[in-house]
């Protein structure tokens, strides 16, 4: 008989195969670590009843889920991803909640001050250290530019970032915002590119067609195109970006989504989600057993990274993939 009710809420839970990233959600590595941690703490899924649901996009949908959780007597909510945590936090002020997610440039970090929320802060490995970022030029010695699409309709387009993009649009018709602009949203990535000796561009988009239209105007040679999971949050965007990269011999990189890269990208820079899950399991048992409150648990640091390289795609694009380069990656797929 289960003693505790746990509800996992995430945008990354899919009922059907929608593309390479369908493997996220319940099959993601964090849940394996979570279960292992429950066992380590003398519990199991027999005691902890875990249900998975895709969290809706609208405030009304999220409020409905919150009401259902209250009716069912949910003891703990877990949000897999910052975007779901942001939506959930608006509706839920009382159910203890854990989440793991990233806050680029510390945007949206005020979320962690809410009294019912705790979890794990992720670092976004590609842009967290120059050592990782420099792997772009190690793979592409003639790298001349890095392009980063930004989904304007996702929670990762935080209000201050969205305001900056709107100001850029007032002054310029150019889609791609150069890193040297006053209105660039991720200044630290501009600094990384500057140190690497290449240019940086951000492309805030509101539809898949808009993004693909602007990508089609570029010469992709010696350029790195970097996807974050805000792109996954727009239906069809990740699949079409992957298809575009294959058709145009473009080097696609990703952060926190190896399945997309395994399907045809160059390299993925992920947090170590199994370790994240182990931390969440420890935090969950402390909450469920009444040993600590969310405020006492607070936020754990990102426990590590897992970098993955697709050698076949490297060969197709004639990229540098020597043993010296490969040693920086934890997973190398032939």
Cα–Cα distance, 1 to 316 (Å, whole number): 53
With b for 16 or more beta-carbon neighbours within 10 A and e for fewer, the 115-145 pattern comes to: eebbbbbbbbbbbbeeebbebbbebbeebeb
Domain ranges of the chain: 4-123+271-305, 126-269+307-333
- pTM listed for this prediction: 0.94
Confidence check: pLDDT of 22 > 90 = no
pLDDT, one tens digit per residue, over 163-208 is: 999 999 999 999 999 999 999 999 999 999 999 999 999 999 999 9
- Could you check whether 4-123+271-305 and 126-269+307-333 share the same CATH topology? yes
Mean pLDDT over 47-63 rounds to 94
Architecture of domain 4-123+271-305: 3-Layer(aba) Sandwich (3.40)
The CATH superfamily of 126-269+307-333 is Response regulator (3.40.50.2300)
Task: Tell which residue, 196, 189, 188, 195, has the closest CA to residue 138.
Answer: 196
Cα–Cα distance, 204 to 192 (Å, whole number): 20
């Amino acid at each position: 008989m289960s003693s505790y009710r746990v509800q996992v809420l995430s945008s990354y839970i899919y009922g059907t195969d929608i593309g390479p990233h369908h493997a996220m959600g319940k099959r993601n590595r964090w849940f394996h670590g979570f279960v292992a941690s429950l066992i380590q703490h003398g519990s199991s899924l027999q005691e902890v009843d875990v249900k998975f649901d895709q969290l809706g996009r609208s405030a009304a949908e999220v409020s409905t889920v919150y009401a259902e959780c209250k009716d069912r007597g949910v003891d703990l909510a877990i949000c897999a991803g910052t975007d779901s945590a942001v939506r959930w936090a608006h509706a839920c002020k009382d159910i203890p909640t854990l989440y793991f997610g990233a806050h680029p440039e510390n945007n949206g970090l005020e979320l962690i001050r809410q009294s019912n929320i705790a979890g794990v802060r992720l670092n976004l490995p590609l842009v967290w250290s120059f050592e990782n970022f420099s792997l772009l030029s190690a793979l592409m010695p003639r790298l001349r530019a890095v392009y980063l699409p930004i989904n304007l309709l996702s929670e990762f387009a935080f209000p201050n970032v969205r305001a900056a993009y709107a100001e850029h649009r007032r002054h310029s018709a150019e889609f791609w915002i150069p890193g040297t602009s006053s209105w660039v949203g991720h200044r630290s990535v501009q600094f990384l590119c500057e140190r690497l000796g290449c240019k940086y561009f951000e492309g805030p988009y509101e539809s898949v067609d808009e993004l693909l239209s602007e990508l089609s105007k570029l010469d992709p040679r010696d350029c790195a195109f970097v996807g974050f999971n805000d792109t996954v949050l727009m239906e069809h965007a990740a699949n079409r970006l992957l298809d575009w990269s294959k058709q145009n011999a473009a080097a696609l990189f990703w952060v926190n989504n190896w399945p997309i890269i395994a399907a045809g990208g160059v390299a993925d820079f992920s947090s170590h989600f199994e370790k994240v899950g182990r931390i969440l399991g420890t935090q969950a048992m402390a909450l469920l057993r009444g040993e600590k409150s969310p405020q006492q648990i607070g936020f754990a640091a990102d426990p590590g990274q897992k970098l993955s390289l697709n050698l076949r795609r490297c060969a197709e694009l004639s990229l540098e993939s020597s043993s010296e380069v490969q040693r920086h990656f934890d997973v190398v797929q032939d």
